[in-house]
Amino acid sequence: MNKGKIYLIPNMISDSDIDTAIPRDVISVVQGIHHFIVEDVRTARRYLRKIGYLQNFDTEVEFFILNKHTDLMEIIGFLAPALASKDMGLISESGVPCVADPGNLIVELAHQYDIQVVPLVGPSSIILSLMASGFNGQNFAFVGYLPIDDKEKSRKLKDLENKILHEDQTQIFIETPYRNQKLFQFITKVCSEKTMLCVACNINASDEFIKSKSIENWKKSKLDINKKNTIFLLYK
Amino acid sequence: MNKGKIYLIPNMISDSDIDTAIPRDVISVVQGIHHFIVEDVRTARRYLRKIGYLQNFDTEVEFFILNKHTDLMEIIGFLAPALASKDMGLISESGVPCVADPGNLIVELAHQYDIQVVPLVGPSSIILSLMASGFNGQNFAFVGYLPIDDKEKSRKLKDLENKILHEDQTQIFIETPYRNQKLFQFITKVCSEKTMLCVACNINASDEFIKSKSIENWKKSKLDINKKNTIFLLYK
């Protein structure tokens, strides 16, 4: 018996129109899937309806919940439909699955069980911000969240500046939206005046804002990114 | 006078159908643009026609060529249409512009001239391979090409393995297609048996092949990636 495939299904990163971010074939692939691994059932249902999914959620669809509370032992059971030759979908809360979220645990298992994984094209705020930053896209790193403790955060930023200078590598990171403004101020205080900072805010939305300046010039500007989804990029 | 915007226009990464990789709105944005910055005029024209661009190339469209032979001083002139309030498009030969190509030089200049840069969603083989690898997507680096010299390449691979172990960071790199097979053999020779290697081949094409295994298990397998577009990913 052939195994089913696991499709990695992109989600939106803004409330703009589907056609700004999701290729049409993603929509048709989704129609054939009845088993989804998701972070949150309610938002997954809403997204599936938004892109035109037609199945009855109560009688025809099974959801498996993968989030930080999920027991690792439980995850193995999630792959049962694929092992029984059914195609499955993995959907993130935002953007493409397995990037800046723990979806890779499912994919890691899928490789062990020799289940084919099919990544579908969609929006990644990391890649979109890198494209629009003007920074080096031939060598870059995404390092997730910086440490919360100020001393450690300061040390980390110095470490990232070091990699920019000595490895010519763009450094990308994120923060919880309500801490964005504080992080921005911290960066301008700790980093060298010559270091370049790109602030990429509400990407793919109507109020998208992406701006690269030296720390020296950011110090002279006003910026309100409080509670807005933001990606930070540093380069020389 | 308002300045024009620079749209970063994704290209295909395989010869599959447009709707597998390009959101519909990209196609409608392109229709309104008459000034394109491209790596190669012939392939850019072919791509624009493929996605349904209707303007007359000989009388209505201006192309600026940005590749490794382009003089940096010349690039400033490329922005003239945007400064004269015309929207422009930057198109890569493959995938999204400014990632794994030198398009970021234009975007860097655009920020200096306060020209708005709009990144459009499309396929990135780096992100698609990361999604499908099962490796850490919360901390990863793309380092471009490895050194050609065997001694330096070996040292670089050891350095990448070090970052995997001590920074928990997935390491992603590429090679010229005709050297893929040799690089694969080199990796299996130099890297630790426990290191995980993902080989992602012809992404988004009908013969897409993506497989993650330990070096120990790759040594027991046969693999033919000669002249196929391939992304290599290493993790623990």
Q: Dihedral sign, CA of A141, A147, A148, A150? A: negative
Task: Give this complex's ipTM.
Answer: 0.97
Please name the residue that has the structure tokens 């309100």.
A224
Question: pLDDT tens digits for B162-206?
Answer: 999 999 999 999 999 999 999 999 999 999 999 999 999 999 999
Nearest residue of chain A to residue B128 (CA atoms):
A119
Class of domain B6-119: alpha beta
A36 in Cβ contact with A61 (< 8 Å) = yes
**Identical fold at B6-119 and B125-235?**
no
Tell if the CB–CB gap between A208 and B8 is shorter than 8 Å: no
What are the boundaries of each domain within chain A? 6-119, 125-235
Tell if the CB–CB gap between A213 and B111 is shorter than 8 Å: yes
Nearest residue of chain B to residue A18 (CA atoms):
B23
Per-residue pLDDT tens digits of chain A, which is 236 residues long:
799 999 999 999 999 999 999 999 999 999 999 999 999 999 999 999 999 999 999 999 999 999 888 888 899 899 999 999 999 999 999 999 999 988 999 999 999 999 999 999 999 999 999 999 999 999 999 999 999 999 999 999 999 999 999 999 999 999 999 999 999 999 999 999 999 999 999 999 999 999 999 999 999 999 999 999 999 999 99
Class of domain B125-235: alpha beta
Chain B: give the shortest CA distance to residue A207, in Å. Answer: 11
Look at residues B148, B133, B103 and name the one whose alpha carbon lies nearest to residue B236.
B133
In this structure, what are the phi and psi dihedrals at residue A142, rounded to the nearest 5 degrees?
Answer: -105, 120
Residue A68's pLDDT is what? 82
Question: pLDDT tens digits for B17-75?
Answer: 999 999 999 999 999 999 999 999 999 999 999 999 999 999 999 999 998 888 888 99
Look at residues A92, A230, A130 and name the one whose alpha carbon lies nearest to residue A174.
A230
Tell if the CB–CB gap between B8 and A142 is shorter than 8 Å: no
Statement: residue B95 has pLDDT above 90: yes
Percent of chain B with pLDDT over 90: 94
